[in-house]
């Protein structure tokens, strides 16, 4: 996957839907408030303007009454209004009230209610009197402004409504009728005027336009957020499908298996059957691809998926892992039932490209719920599958308690190894090497022993293979070399007559092109002569990069180190390694001396190997020697050094000092 695509997928995973939902809610709230505020503001200003017109009318009437109205004359108000109102538009009724708010004279049929008034829009000069006539579009009450939508002039609202073409030509849509009261004399009289103020179509149309614009903007934003939500949901679904699809078979991959497997296991307590995590692997799939090509190999895997999928229920999962490896989550009632079912699956898988021979290995781990995670269970199934060998009669292995203990031990070792190195729990043991003829101590091999604070003495076979597998053996090699160099330096300072000590250099170290320089730096810190350090490499290192190995050995020899090959004869290319590597010492594998040699073939091989090594100017060390007969035979063959329990077992440094210097 490209870095750009990987970044895009990460960004898409981080995106959340809730900001878009919050955006929709925010748009609705904000635009609703905006709608209320803007239209409320415009409506209030419209009402204020209209009522201001009524106020001006009242002010003019009050000014006339101040000078012309005569209280004692009964028709005085009638005479004034007949003349005055001809020049004023919108004034319908006029009344005169005394200081007790009693109507003393009126012009028109209506009179106001003077027992209360609305403080809204009121001023120190005029009061607005509540009213509700049938023809009012809006009217004042004690609780505020109310609207009478039924009173809009139906003749004005033509088919299609008000438009930009006709709104300026229309008549009044409705009118506003409001009573005003204003004092006009020193005797406590006040004039009450009812003004009927027109609301035109253009004014209503303007309010409608503002309302429509706000609604459209809100609608557009809501649509945008909805599209964003649908797009994100779609992209996430698409991404989930991409991430869960196996690129080789077109089925599901392990990511899908882990996610959905855990989901099914969480619900397994509701079911009457058990779940098992199964791994099926076609052995030697790489060889098949080498013979028939990758395309044929992928078609073979596709055929396997098709066969397996047909044998699964809806509550079971199949996924393709690496190469020809498949993961399954299967239901079962008994182990025997599941074993027979898997055998049947294997038989059907063998019918895919039936003309080629195929072998399978299967590991099963019982799923006890989702507590530990299906990924951990799958790893356990892989551990069980790896127990299947070519010699195994049964290709199906169940993960058991013994394997679980091994896994727990592996986990413990990997958890403790760093701390153990820091606390020097790894101790150097030395196994002496004796000269064959004089039988005197002439060298030693440094071996590591782990003294665990809780487990006590831990045998090397329980942790060395783990370190070789996880790469920690490289750090352990540096530690052992450092401790041996430090010990040699101490003995030199004490004036001891030291012997060469060999230290193992694991095959994992030879990936470093600067390994020779690195070893020199460690040893030179203690100012120890290089020729008292012997570096042992196993024959298996010969199968790695030969060029790097050869260059490293040449450099180490040029720096004065002694180079030996350990376990010579345990591999299959021993003669090639003698031919190509400039070795100083060859250590004969203990296997030559461990088994019975009734026909003497082993002795012949040892004899010829020693003879060959001598011709190549190499010294010979025989390890694993346990009997006097073996010692005599090696002495007769002119072997240089002997290492084994016959003379001494590996021992702590203090015990070695007594044997070497005592």
- How far is 53 from 46, CA to CA, in rounded Å? 11
Q: What tokens were used for 275?
A: 């779940």
- How far is 632 from 421, CA to CA, in rounded Å? 41
Question: Are 292 and 426 contained in the same domain?
Answer: no
Q: What tokens were used for 392?
A: 């195994």
Q: Is residue 106 part of a domain?
A: yes
pLDDT of residue 170: 45
Q: Is residue 13 part of a domain?
A: no
End-to-end CA distance of the chain: give it in Å, rounded: 66
Q: 428, 448 in Cβ contact below 8 A?
A: yes
Per-residue burial over 601-626, b if 16 or more Cβ lie within 10 Å, else e, is ebeeebbebbeebeeeebbbbbbbbe
Q: 156, 171 in Cβ contact below 8 A?
A: yes
Query: pLDDT digits over 454-490, tens only?
Result: 999 999 999 999 999 899 999 999 999 999 999 999 9
Place of tokens 């809006």: 138
Helix 515-524 vs helix 546-558: angle between axes, to the nearest 10 degrees?
30
- How far is 252 from 264, CA to CA, in rounded Å? 16
Q: Pseudo-torsion of CA 311, 313, 315, 317, nearest 10°? A: 20
Q: What tokens were used for 201?
A: 């179509």
Phi, psi (deg, nearest 5) at residue 127: -120, 145
- How far is 39 from 43, CA to CA, in rounded Å? 6
- Block mean pLDDT (10 aa), the chain, length 662: 50 60 71 66 65 80 86 85 81 86 86 62 48 47 41 41 44 67 81 78 67 75 75 69 81 87 76 84 89 89 92 90 92 91 93 88 84 84 88 86 90 94 95 93 95 93 92 95 96 93 91 91 95 87 75 92 85 70 88 71 85 90 92 91 94 94 79
Q: Which residues are bridge partners to 457 per DSSP?
A: 451
Question: Are 484 and 590 contained in the same domain?
Answer: yes
pLDDT of residue 61: 86
pLDDT of residue 37: 67
Question: Are 378 and 425 contained in the same domain?
Answer: no
Query: 323: phi > 0 → left, psi -120 to 50 → alpha, else beta; which?
Result: left
Closest CA to 103 of 184, 183, 192: 192
Find the angle CA(12)-CA(13)-CA(17) to the nearest 5 degrees: 80
Q: Is residue 463 part of a domain?
A: yes
Question: Are 142 and 175 contained in the same domain?
Answer: yes
In 525-623, where does DSSP find H-type helix?
546-558, 574-580, 591-594, 601-615
Task: Give the C-alpha distances (Å, rounded to integers) separating 29 from 23, 26, 36, 368, 388.
Answer: 10, 5, 11, 51, 67
The CATH number of the domain holding residue 330 is 3.30.70.270
- How far is 540 from 542, CA to CA, in rounded Å? 5
Q: Is residue 12 part of a domain?
A: no
Question: Are 531 and 646 contained in the same domain?
Answer: yes
pLDDT of residue 451: 95
CB burial of residue 357 (10 Å; 0-12, 13-18, 19+): exposed
CB burial of residue 123 (10 Å; 0-12, 13-18, 19+): exposed
Query: 177: phi > 0 → left, psi -120 to 50 → alpha, else beta; which?
Result: beta
pLDDT of residue 528: 94
Place of tokens 């109310």: 146
Question: Are 423 and 517 contained in the same domain?
Answer: yes
Question: Are 274 and 201 contained in the same domain?
Answer: no
CB burial of residue 180 (10 Å; 0-12, 13-18, 19+): buried
Q: What tokens were used for 227?
A: 């599209």
Which one-letter DSSP state was computed for residue 600?
Answer: S
Q: Is residue 597 part of a domain?
A: yes
Closest CA to 564 of 546, 577, 575, 551: 577
Query: pLDDT digits over 343-365, tens only?
Result: 999 999 999 988 888 889 999 99
Phi, psi (deg, nearest 5) at residue 6: -65, -40
Give the pTM: 0.62
Distance from CA of residue 100 to its chain's centroid? Answer: 83
Contacting residues for 562 by C-beta, under 8 A, at least 6 apart: 500, 502, 531, 533, 534, 535, 584, 585
Among the candidates 368, 399, 430, a domain finishes at 399
Question: Are 124 and 207 contained in the same domain?
Answer: yes
- How far is 20 from 580, CA to CA, in rounded Å? 70
The CATH number of the domain holding residue 593 is 3.20.20.450
Which one-letter DSSP state was computed for residue 292?
Answer: H
- How far is 299 from 303, CA to CA, in rounded Å? 6
Question: Are 199 and 76 contained in the same domain?
Answer: yes
Question: Are 452 and 538 contained in the same domain?
Answer: yes
Among the candidates 399, 431, 448, a domain finishes at 399
Among the candidates 367, 399, 431, a domain finishes at 399
Question: Are 28 and 107 contained in the same domain?
Answer: yes
Q: What tokens were used for 185?
A: 């004399």
CB burial of residue 468 (10 Å; 0-12, 13-18, 19+): middle
Q: What tokens were used for 347?
A: 């038989």
pLDDT of residue 341: 93
Q: Is residue 236 part of a domain?
A: no
Count of the separate structural domains present in the chain: 3
Q: Which domain holds residue 39?
A: 19-214
In 386-451, where does DSSP find H-type helix?
401-422
Q: Is residue 75 part of a domain?
A: yes
Q: Is residue 1 part of a domain?
A: no
Question: Are 389 and 459 contained in the same domain?
Answer: no
Q: What tokens were used for 418?
A: 């760093």
């Amino acid at each position: 996957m490209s870095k750009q695509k990987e970044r895009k997928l990460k960004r898409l995973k981080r995106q959340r839907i809730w900001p878009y939902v919050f955006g929709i809610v925010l748009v609705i709230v904000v635009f609703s408030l905006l709608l209320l505020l803007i239209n409320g503001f415009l409506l209030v200003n419209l009402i204020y303007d209209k009522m201001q017109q009524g106020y001006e009318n009242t002010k003019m009437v009050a000014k006339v009454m101040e000078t012309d109205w005569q209280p004692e004359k009964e028709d005085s108000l009638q005479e004034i209004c007949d003349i005055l109102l001809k020049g004023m538009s919108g004034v319908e009724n006029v009344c005169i009230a005394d200081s007790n708010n009693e109507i003393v004279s009126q012009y028109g049929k209506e009179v106001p209610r003077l027992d209360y008034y609305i403080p809204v829009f009121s001023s120190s000069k005029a009061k607005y009197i509540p009213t509700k006539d049938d023809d009012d579009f809006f009217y004042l009450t004690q609780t505020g402004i109310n609207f009478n939508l039924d009173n809009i002039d139906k003749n004005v609202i033509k088919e299609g409504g008000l438009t930009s073409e006709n709104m300026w030509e229309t008549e009044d849509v409705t009118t506003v009728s409001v009573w005003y009261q204003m004092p006009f004399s020193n005797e406590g009289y006040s004039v009450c005027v009812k003004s009927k103020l027109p609301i035109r179509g253009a004014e209503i149309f303007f309010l409608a336009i503002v309302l429509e614009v706000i609604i459209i903007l809100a609608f557009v934003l809501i649509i945008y957020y909805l599209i964003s939500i649908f797009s994100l949901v779609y992209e996430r679904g698409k991404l989930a499908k991409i991430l869960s699809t196996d690129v080789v078979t077109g089925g599901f991959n392990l990511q899908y298996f882990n996610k959905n497997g855990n989901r099914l296991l969480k619900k397994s307590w509701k079911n009457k059957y058990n779940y098992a995590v199964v791994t099926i692997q076609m052995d030697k799939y790489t060889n098949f691809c080498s013979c028939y090509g990758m395309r044929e190999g992928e078609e073979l895997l596709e055929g396997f998926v098709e066969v397996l999928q047909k044998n699964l229920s809806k509550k079971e999962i199949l996924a393709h892992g690496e190469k020809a490896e498949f993961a399954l989550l299967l239901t079962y009632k008994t182990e025997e039932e599941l074993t027979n079912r898997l055998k049947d699956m294997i038989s059907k898988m063998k019918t895919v490209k039936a003309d080629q021979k195929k072998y399978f290995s299967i590991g099963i781990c019982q799923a006890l719920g989702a507590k530990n995670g299906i990924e951990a269970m799958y790893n356990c199934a892989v551990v069980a599958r790896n127990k299947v060998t070519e010699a195994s009669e049964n290709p199906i292995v169940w993960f058991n308690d013994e394997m679980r203990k091994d896994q727990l031990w592996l986990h413990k070792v990997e958890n403790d190894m760093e701390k153990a190195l820091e606390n020097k729990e790894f101790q150097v043991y030395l196994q002496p090497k004796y000269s064959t003829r004089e039988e005197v101590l002439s060298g030693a091999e440094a071996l590591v022993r782990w003294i665990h604070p809780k487990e006590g003495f831990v045998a090397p076979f329980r942790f060395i293979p783990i370190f070789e597998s996880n790469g920690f053996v490289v750090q352990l090699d540096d530690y052992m070399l450092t401790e041996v160099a430090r010990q040699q330096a101490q003995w030199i300072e004490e004036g001891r007559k030291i012997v060469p000590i060999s230290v193992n250099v694991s095959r994992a170290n030879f990936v470093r092109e600067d390994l020779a320089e690195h070893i020199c730096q460690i040893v030179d810190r203690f100012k120890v002569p290089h020729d008292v350090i012997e570096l042992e490499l196993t024959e298996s290192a010969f199968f790695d990069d030969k060029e790097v190995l050869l260059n490293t050995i040449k450099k180490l020899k040029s720096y004065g180190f002694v180079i030996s090959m350990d376990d010579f004869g345990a591999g299959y290319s021993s003669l090639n390694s003698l031919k190509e590597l400039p070795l100083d010492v060859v250590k004969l594998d203990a296997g030559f001396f461990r088994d019975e040699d009734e026909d003497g073939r082993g002795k012949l091989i040892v004899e010829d190997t020693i003879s060959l090594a001598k011709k190549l100017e190499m010294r010979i060390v025989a390890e694993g020697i346990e009997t006097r007969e073996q010692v005599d035979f090696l002495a007769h063959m002119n072997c240089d050094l002997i290492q084994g329990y016959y003379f001494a077992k590996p021992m702590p440094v203090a015990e070695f000092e007594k044997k070497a210097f005592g």
